Amino acid sequence: MSGNTKEKIAVRNNAGKKTLAATALIANAYANATVLEKIENLAATFRLKKCNETGSRFLYLNIKGNDKSNQTP
């Protein structure tokens, strides 16, 4: 999600008061956006960890000369 997902939104009826239904919808949308943001952050963390682990593994193989992918059985 792009932008600030925690942006507060105020919905008011004609009298200028918040309606119960509108407040519930806003609270639900806010909660959903917060959960999605946390999931995206978690997914990004695991993607970064996976890339770093894979890169380190190949770096180790190349430096140490332990790359057995081109050896015949």
Domain spans in the chain, listed from the N-terminal domain onward: 1-65
Q: 30: buried, middle or exposed (CB in 10 Å: 19+, 13-18, 0-12)?
A: middle
Determine the pLDDT at residue 17: 60
pTM recorded for the entire structure: 0.38
Q: Is 57 helix (H, G, I), strand (E, B) or coil?
A: helix
Q: Minimal CA–CA distance to 14: which of 6, 22, 26?
A: 22
Q: In this predicted model, what pLDDT tens digit does every residue of 8-65 receive, in sequence order?
A: 444 444 555 665 667 777 888 888 888 888 888 888 887 776 665 555 555 555 454 4
Q: How far is CA 22 from the centre of its chain?
A: 27
Looking at residue 18, its pLDDT comes to 60
Confidence at residue 2, expressed as pLDDT on a 0 to 100 scale: 45
Kindly state the percentage of the chain with pLDDT values over 90: 0
What is the sign, positive or negative, of the torsion defined by CA atoms of 5, 11, 16, 21? negative
